[in-house]
Every structure is written in C-alpha cells, then in structure tokens.
Structure 1
Amino acid sequence: MRILILGGSGFVGRVLAAEAVAAGHQVTVFNRGQRDPVPGVTTLVGDRLADPDFGPGTWDAVIDTWSAEASAVGTAAAALSGRAGHFTYVSSRSVYLWPGTARMTEDAPLAPLDDPGYAGDKLRGERAASAFGGPVMFARAGLILGPHEDVGRLPWWLDRLHRGGPTLAPGPRDLPLQYIDVRDLALFILATAGVEGAFNLVSPSGHTTMGELLETAAEVTGGRAELRWTDPEAILAAGVEPWTDLPIWLPPGEGHDFMHRGDVSKAVAAGLRCRPIRETVEDTWAWRRSLPGAAPKRTDRPRVGLDPQVEAKLLGIS
C-alpha cells in the first residue's frame, strides 16, 4: 500500500512508520521535520496547525496520530478527501463516558462533546475525521507501552527497578492490567486499512497483572530491586497519586475498571494479537539502554514518577 502517516516521528507514529516500511509498504510521513525520520520513509515537512500542504500524491491509506485540538484532524481529513482510500484516526478509550461500567464495548456511552480535556479532544477528533468523506476507522487505544514511549510510564518503572533496593510495589499483586504494545497497535491498524468503525485496542483484561509486570521488569533490569508489595489504602493515605506518581497502577475500583476491564472482543475477532508482557518489557529496556541520556518525554503530558522521599517514607526507610 501507499500510506501517509500524519506524524511518524514520535512514539505511535514512529512505530507505525517502522512497521509499515518493514512490511514493504510505501510510506510517506507528514510532520515538522524536527526529529530524525524512520529509514525508508518519504518525509513531507509542514505544520498541520497552519495550512498543511500534502503535495500532489495519493494514498491507499492515511493514519492520523494527532491528540490535541481537533480542528487539525478536520483540516487534514478535508484536505485528503478524494486523495486516499481510507482514513484511520488513532483515538482513545478515554472517549467513553466516565465513570462508565466494566467491560465497556465500542457502543458504550461517550463523553460530552464539549468536555474540555483529553477525552473531549479525542472525541471531537473522531467527529472531525468525518470530513474525509470516505471510510474511517477509530483506533480507540488504551494504555500504550513499548519501545519509543514518550509519556514515560514504563521507562520510569524500568529506571526505578534498575536503580534497585527496596521498591514500593503497589498492590494487589494480582491486579489485572490492560494495555497494548505499540507494535501490536501498529500491526492491527495496518492490517485493517479499509475497515470502518471503532475498535477498542488493548489487550484482553488480565493479559498481565501488576505482579507479573513488575517482577518481569525487575528481573530484566538486573534483579536489583526488592519489591515490597503495599496495600492500596496505605498508598492513597500517603497522598500518592495513582497513574501519575505510580504509572500504570490504578487501585481497585471505578478508575481501574474503566481503564483495565474494557471489552476487546470486537478487535480480537478482527485479528488483534497481543505479545507477552516479557517481550514488551525486554524490548523497551533494550531501547532505553540504547539512549545516551534520559528517555524522551512529551511536554503535553503530566510528569510521572514517585518522589524517592515519599517512597522511602511509605516503606519506613530512614
């Protein structure tokens, strides 16, 4: 296929471009040209917030990874109408109405369209994509992990566990997690070019657990960490924020069910396959170790990671 990726140099877009090139597709990326491109792609340099010029080309599929102001999605979709066979917008499971219910399918109620936050941006992005005028697929991803992650969730855990010593491990140990390796997300999107509609794109709930994730990560990073499993009540009483102070983790309850118990049967039936957590951890750690300094972090996402002093106090370490 001839594929145009809007983005293509950060996290999801970069991996999409790399997987598409590896599969033999002809890949063009459109971005501001501020990062090194994936080898084998054609780069169109431009600013989608201004007046994007996609040149004279036509494509079989367009993939848009934009996550901010939805007008940029609409502008691109309208400009590419009639010039591509299919449009995929990488959306989010955040578009569902909070608090929602466990096992939410793609037909679950959606957030208000005027929601001022991330959920609203993604939902308005879905609406704006209709300007494409052809078949559109919404890839409603959940927690995305893997090499090149620029939010910092799994990289923070890997760095912390590599540092070693007594390490706060948020319980319960058997807490089910739901996430998707960025490469599995990319492969599904590439394989479903031409398919319309929304798909929840995360692993089945319980694909891994908090225990398996941290124990695997502790082993992979050198076996230096002594995991000390701590009850959620003690963590919350100390003022620790789930998801940000302790990335990935949410205590049992509405928030956890919303993020980690979604229904993915539609995507699985359409071919979604999820690799084991060990492969995600090992490959992310290999990528992390290849970097000359700190892992890249997006400036439009909250800082993640627990203050070492707060951790020591919770663990009773002077």
Structure 2
Amino acid sequence: MKLLVLGGTHHVGRAIVETALERGDEVSTLNRGLSRDPAPGVRALLADRTDPEAVRWALDGQEWDAVIDTWAWAPRVVRESARLLAGRAGHYGYVSSRGVHRWPWPAGADEQAPLVDGDPGGSDHADYAAAKRGGELAVLESFGERALLARAGMILGPYEDVGRIPWWLRRLEKGGRVLAPAPARTPLQYLDVRDLAAWMLSSAERGLSGAFTVTGPPGATTLGDLLTTALDVTGFATELVWAPPELLLRHGLPLGMEFGLRMLDGSVPTGMHDADVSAVLAEGLSTRPLRETLADTWAWLQAEGDPAPRADAPSPDTWLDAAAEQRLLDQLTR
C-alpha cells in the first residue's frame, strides 16, 4: 500500500511504521520532525498538526491508499486532517481506546457497550475519553464506511512510553525483594503494539471498516505470569513479595493501578481485563506469546534507554514510594 502515518515516531506510530516497512508498503509520515529521525525508507512530511495551513501545505497534491492516525488530544485536529484527506485516501484507520466506553465498563463488554459523549470539533484534551470519542466522530464525518476505529486496550511491547512494563523491568532489575500486588492469579488482558500495528495494516489493505475492541483474548495470562516471565527472560535475581490490595492501600501504595487492577480508593473495577474480543479475532487479529513481548521490550530498553515519558502519562514515581515499600516489606518478611 501507499500509506500515510499521522505521527510515526513514538509507541504505536513507530510500530506501525516499522511493520509497514517490513510488509513492503510505501510509507510517508507527517509530524513535526522533532523527536526522532525518520526510519530509512520513510518519506518524512513535516508540519505541526495543530496548524491546519501547515498540514494542508505538507499534504498538497498527494494521495494514499490508507491513512493511520494515532492522535490522542484535541479532536478538532483529527477533524481537520480527515476533512483534508477525505478525497485523497481510500481508508482512515484511527487508533482509539476502550476508554470511549462509558464508565464503569460492564463485565464482558463488547463494541455495543455505552459510549461517552464527544465533540469532533473540540479543542480540549484534558478528558481523554471524550477526546478519543470526539476523534472517532471526526473520522466518521469524513470517511464514514471507509473508517476503522481501533478501540485498543492495554498496549504493551517495545517503545511503550506510558509507564507500565518499562517501569516494572527497571524495578525488577534492581534485585532484592520487591512488592507485587496480589493475587498473582489476577487476569490481565493486553496486546503487543506490533500485533495491533499488523492488524490495522492488514485491515487497511482489506478495506475493513467499523469499530472494534482491539486487545488480546481474556483469560490468556495473569499478573503472576507477566512478572515471573519478566524475571525469567531477564535473569534478574529478584524476589516477588505479594501483598494484598487492602494492605497496599493502607500503606499508601497504589501498585496495581498501572495495570488498571484497582482504583485510587482500593476498589476493583469490572470490565478492565475481560473484554469480549470475538469480533476482532474473527477479523484476523493474532497475538504473540507474552515471553516474546517482554524479551523484546527489555532488548529495546537496553539498546535505546528509557523513553521520555508522555506528558499525559503518570510520573515514574507514581506507583511506588521506596520508603513505604521498604516498611511494608519489613512487615511482611519478619
């Protein structure tokens, strides 16, 4: 395909670009050109997406088979891009989020679960759920049945910049005893970023449209599987000390929130890790083994170092206060 990626330098965008190049697609990217040099073989178009005239100038006179957009902020930016590209591209894939569903998410929810309100012309991105829903509506305005809305769940794998697996790997790297949020059998539902990229590109090629919940199958792995596999693939000499959620809450330690396993008040949310993904699996989504995701994430961190955190992501110190952790470890291991 002749592909345009709006973004293309971080996390999902970078995975999409690399996967497209591996497929042999002809890839153009549009971004400010400030974060990373374009990958070899990529045609880099430069513009600030918040400047409609700059975007119009950068895209002038060009056409693509498909566009993939990773924008996560003000929906009006998506609307302006989609309107500009409506007559120049056959397909528009938008990386959305399960967050567009109204909270609390029902257990076993599929694509029909209630949605939040969104404004396709909105300029605010403080409300992530409303911004993503506004972005969806903006794409549908211009592309209609040529639009694919990928409502992603928890995305892991190389290039992650939202503070989940990189944070845990660096924490486990220190060795010794570390707290983990019990119970170890807690189910996790996630998707490797490269599997998301491959599915979106294949779907663009086929002209697949509609809204899909895009994450891995429920019940496939647990928190214990994730952390013990991380120790296995890295070889760290670290002991996991599992602490009950109520004890973590009492000590002011929000461990588990990084995976959506509990809320600030200690309550356990429903629907986070049991989404019905039968629709996306029927449309060809495939998922790689957990071991591969974790090993490749660790290899990337070793090669490139820790990524700069996203402005809308929690700080690395959010999940754990070292002094509070040590006090609880001492209590649990007396």
TM norm structure 2: 0.90
Q: Which residue does 1:300 correspond to in 2?
A: 312
Which amino acid is 1:295 matched to? P
**2-structure distance, mates of 1:249, 1:223:** 25
Q: Does 1:170 align with 2:181?
A: yes
Q: 1:132: how far off?
A: 2.3
Q: 2: CA distance between counterparts of 1:32 and 1:239?
A: 40
Q: Hey, what does 2:224 align to over in structure 1?
A: 211
Is contact 2:161-2:310 (8 Å) kept? Answer: yes
Comparing 167-176 with 254-263, greater Cα deviation is found at 254-263
| Rounded Cα–Cα distance in structure 2 between residues aligned with 1:62 and 1:266 | 22
The residue that corresponds to 2:122 in the other structure is none
In 2, Cα distance between equivalents of 1:74 and 1:232: 42
In 2, Cα distance between equivalents of 1:249 and 1:95? 16
Q: Does 1:127 align with 2:137?
A: yes
Hey, what's the Cα distance between the residues in 1 that align with 2:96 and 2:73? 11
User: Equivalent of 2:149, from 130, 138, 144?
Assistant: 138
C-alpha RMSD of the superposition: 1.9
**Worse overlay, 58-67 or 201-210:** 201-210
Q: Which residue of 2 aligns with 1:231?
A: 244
Residue 116 of structure 1 deviates from its aligned partner by 5.5
**1:63-95: CA deviations, max 9, x gaps?**
000000000000000000110000011000001
Query: Counterparts in 2 of 1:179-258, with a 5 A limit?
Result: 179-193=190-204, 194-244=207-257, 247-248=258-259, 250-251=261-262, 256-258=269-271
User: What CA distance in whole angstroms lies between the structure 2 residues aligned with 1:65 and 1:294?
Assistant: 21
Shift of 1:131: 3.3
The correspondence for 2:116, drawn from 111, 132, 138, is: 111
- Segments of structure 2 that go 5 or more residues without pairing to the other structure are 120-124
Structure 1 residues 198, 50: CA separation in 2 closer, same or farther (over 3 Å shift)? same
Question: Which sections of structure 1, spanning at least 5 residues, go unmatched?
Answer: none
1:265, CA displacement in angstroms? 0.5
Q: Deviations for 1:6-60, whole angstroms, at most 9, x for unmatched residues?
A: 0011110011000001000001000000122122111000011012131321011
Shift of 1:230: 1.2
TM-score by length of 1: 0.94
Q: Secondary structure at the match of 1:219?
A: helix
Aligned length: 315
Match of 2:42 in 1: 41
User: Partner of 1:266 in structure 2?
Assistant: 279
CA displacement, residues 106-145 of structure 1 (integer Å, 9 cap, x when unaligned): 0110123379611111011101112323410100001110
* Number of the residue aligned with 1:64: 69
